[in-house]
Structure 1
Amino acid sequence: MKKIKENRAVSFIVIFFVYVIAAAAGFCVYNALGLVWWLKLLISDIAATVITFIFSVIFKNASVYDPYWSVQPIVILFACAVGKKLDLLRILLLIAVTFWGVRLTANWAYTFKGLDHQDWRYTMLKEKTGTFYPVINFIGIHLMPTLIVYGCILPACYAFQSDTEANLFCFIPFVISIGAVILQGTADIQMHRYRKNRTGNFMRTGLWKYSRHPNYLGEILMWWGVASMVCVACPDKWFLMSGALTNTILFLTVSIPMADNRQAAKDGFSEYKKQTRMLLPIKKRQ
């Protein structure tokens, strides 16, 4: 087990097969249920998450779940597209979600060091929660993100389950989603370069010069764009934006505070925080 976890190439293969098994389990559960499509999708998504969780326990590494965030929406949306006519709205949604998912998965693959490395946030939670960590691991690290991303991809799935058609206004949120992916990708590339040639405690160039979390901004905007594409075409389904709203709340109340608290241990963080905005890469007035 130790040799498998330390070998990056073998770890990639293991992760690949874990996700094949998880996807197969999800498809089997979906086809076995005689429920409305959105409930079947939810239950099958949870089933795939449980499979991923089991393997994360086997390998004693919650980061087995990390690529689920970006792989899940692509798999779900393409499964919804099977046998369906590809009208303009559906094509726009497939392009946006695929562009986002492939980019984010590629970023994960670039930073993936092997199964012997776990995200610092999970390690911190394990140290803080002790005997309660297995529960926190399943509910907080695996289940909650799955439910949030399910809510984010649900508007796009609805577009494949209904006769909703695009209109000219759908292109505005489409551009927002594509721009969000480019923003997120640019921020990640800039951060990778900074970490290779680290100077100072905080990155103060590019998008990061005025924003502490431009990559999170891209993630937030991406899902507002997807939800808006569908809701612009079908205004009475405004409640489908709840997934994007929940995702935004997650970043504002959990992800960003957690990242900032870690950065707070570095000298000069208070001054750095005063000089930079939380999300928008716009110069802050002093």
Structure 2
Amino acid sequence: MAPLGVCLVLLAAITAGTWVLSLVTREYSWVDRIWSIAPVVYVWVFAAASGGDARLVLMAVLVTAWGARLTFNFARKGGYRPGGEDYRWAVLRERMPRPAFEAFNLFFISIYQNVLILLFCLPAQTVSASSRPPLGAWDAIVAVVFLAFLAGETIADQQQWAFHRWKAAERAAGRTPTPGFLQTGLFRVSRHPNFFFEQAQWWAFYGFAVAATGIWLHWSVAGAVLLTLLFIGSTVFTESISRRRYADYDAYRARTSAIVPWFPRSVPAATAADAHARD
């Protein structure tokens, strides 16, 4: 079977499995739990089928590094433990009628997200179907950029982890943590730097398709585009929760870039208050 066919079979099995598990356990983070694992499998399928093509093996090694780091971070936050469901699904369940959420679970959480995971891996298909020229300078640049984004996400997640451990320690000591959300380090220049670096890695991954073909635009860019759209929606939803939890979150929004790291803006306090009142 062609590597894409193998991946499609795996996709069908993973999609069915995550959906059934969500019904059995009433936890809806099963796709989150395989998010960092399935891409490693998909890309190695293409690398193995190529007979060890250097570019595809390099792509698979980089995705393995991405997956190992993300799996570690997800595990230490308790994502694989029973009850380790993403808090946002519980909020969404409260906002939606039960039948609507069950349809959302099937079509968006289980089917769409699993399809998306395969899609952003499919620059490997473009490389596999190319004439496979030898590795060159462009591949080296793409690999270095990918690793730089990987390092950025590692730093952002570590800063977030340290902050949440500090919050837990403050609560355990009977104190109210202030501030209630992270605003320093990379979070001073982006409200969601980990979101930025996660997307950026998959845009860099698409760069290997360009390197292999010499053509800038391929259908396999669709995965990176759709991933970016997913993160835009996730950012809006996440921030709707944060704005309800923290009175000073609007001031943070007013001065700090949403996704792309950028210099903080100087915004009068009244401006942020006015923006909140308009919303």
**Cα distance, 1:195 vs structure 2:** 0.9
Conserved 8 A contact 2:22-2:30: yes
Counterpart position of 1:94: 60
Q: Which amino acid aligns with 2:87?
A: W
2:160 aligned residue (147, 171, 191): 191
Aligned with residue 70 of structure 2, among 104, 107, 126? 104
**Aligned partner (choices 14, 18, 25) of residue 59 of structure 1:** 25
Match of 2:213 in 1: 234
Q: Deviation of residue 281 (structure 1)?
A: 2.6
Percent pairwise identity: 25
Give the Cα–Cα distance (whole angstroms) in 1 for the partners of residues 146 and 104 of structure 2: 32
Q: Distance in 2 between matches of 1:179 and 1:67?
A: 24
Structure 1 position 161, deviation (Å)? 4.8
Quote the residue 2:89 is aligned against.
Answer: 122
Q: CA deviation at 1:215?
A: 0.2
Q: Give the TM-score normalised by the residue count of structure 2.
A: 0.83
1:283 partnered with 2:263: yes
Residue 201 of structure 1 contacts residue 267 of structure 1 at CA under 8 Å; is this kept in 2?
Answer: no
Name the TM-score, length of structure 1 as normaliser: 0.81
Deviates more, 1:123-132 or 1:185-194: 123-132
Higher helix share: 1
Q: CA RMSD in A?
A: 1.9
Asked if residue 174 in structure 1 is aligned to residue 143 in structure 2, the reply is yes
In 2: Cα distance, 1:76 partner to 1:214 partner: 26
1:1-286 residue pairs with structure 2 within 5 A?
37-38=3-4, 41-112=7-78, 114-129=81-96, 130-165=98-133, 166-198=135-167, 199-236=178-215, 238-252=218-232, 254-265=233-244, 266-286=246-266
Q: CA deviation at 1:169?
A: 1.1
Count of aligned pairs between the two proteins? 251
Alpha-carbon distance in structure 2 between the residues aligned to 1:121 and 1:226: 28
Q: 1:125 to 1:204 in 2, by over 3 A?
A: closer
Deviates more, 1:166-175 or 1:184-193: 166-175
In the alignment, structure 2 segments of 5+ residues that lack a partner are 168-177, 267-279
Structure 1 moving runs of 4+ over 6 Å: none
| C-alpha separation in 2, matches of 1:65 and 1:218 | 20
CA distance in 2, matches of 1:126, 1:196: 27
